[in-house]
């Protein structure tokens, strides 16, 4: 998968891209966002985000070095984005940017994770990547996004207290995807 964005046609003569289906051996992917990787928006881009070597060097949940990435173990989902469509003259529609979001829960409520939550309440911007069992999303540069995170204490004594959050970003295109090198 390339980090290069698709070239959008500038007139009505655009060609539909290739697709692929296989009746005998369909390619499917499992759901659930299971990891969020967060860095500072000013951190350096990856040389090759598809190679696990640089990830393993940069992931550290305690270090304060430059370009460090925090790895969050989460239960998450990425619903369909919200579109900003514009209706223009002659009943035409222009599809604008989309607001993407990932809703997630952290079920380990350590003191460090709670302090992380409190720091996120400052309204900081982050650079993010997200991963399912099968795929990693975000490209060499990551996704510049905002994060909201709160503690949720349930009524029932047999339910877990969780840290629940959302990361959001706006983009016309979905982020680059690659087979997850970190599984």
Cβ-Cβ contacts under 8 Å for 149 (sequence gap 6 or more): 116, 117, 120, 121, 163, 164, 165
Would you state the pLDDT for residue 5? Answer: 80
Helix (H, G, I), strand (E, B) or coil at 13: coil
Dist CA 39 CA 150 (whole Å): 19
Would you state the pLDDT for residue 25? Answer: 94
Is 155's pLDDT higher than 60? yes
Over residues 97-141, the pLDDT tens digits come to: 999 999 999 999 999 999 999 999 999 899 999 999 999 999 999
Average pLDDT of every residue of the chain: 93
Is 1's pLDDT higher than 60? no
Where are the alpha helices (H) located in the chain, listed in sequence order? 52-58, 111-120
Name the residue ranges covered by the structural domains of the chain: 33-179
Over residues 56-83, the pLDDT tens digits come to: 999 999 999 889 999 999 999 999 999 9
Would you state the pLDDT for residue 2? Answer: 63
Closest CA to 87 of 95, 77, 76: 95
């Amino acid at each position: 998968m390339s980090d290069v964005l698709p070239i959008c046609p500038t007139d009505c003569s655009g060609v539909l891209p290739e697709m692929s289906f296989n009746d005998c051996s369909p390619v499917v992917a499992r759901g659930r966002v299971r990891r969020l990787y967060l860095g500072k928006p000013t951190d350096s881009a990856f040389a090759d985000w598809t190679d696990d070597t640089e990830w393993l060097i940069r992931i550290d949940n305690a270090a304060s070095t430059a370009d460090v990435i925090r790895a969050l173990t989460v239960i998450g989902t990425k619903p369909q984005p919200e579109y900003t469509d514009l209706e223009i003259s002659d009943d035409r529609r222009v599809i604008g940017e989309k607001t993407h979001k990932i809703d997630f829960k952290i079920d380990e409520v350590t003191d460090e994770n709670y302090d992380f939550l409190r720091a996120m309440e400052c309204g900081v911007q982050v650079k993010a990547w997200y991963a399912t069992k099968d795929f990693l999303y975000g490209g060499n540069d990551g996704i510049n996004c905002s994060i909201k995170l709160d503690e949720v204490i349930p009524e029932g004594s047999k339910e877990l207290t969780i840290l629940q959050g959302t990361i959001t970003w706006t983009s016309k295109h979905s982020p680059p995807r690659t087979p997850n090198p970190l599984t």
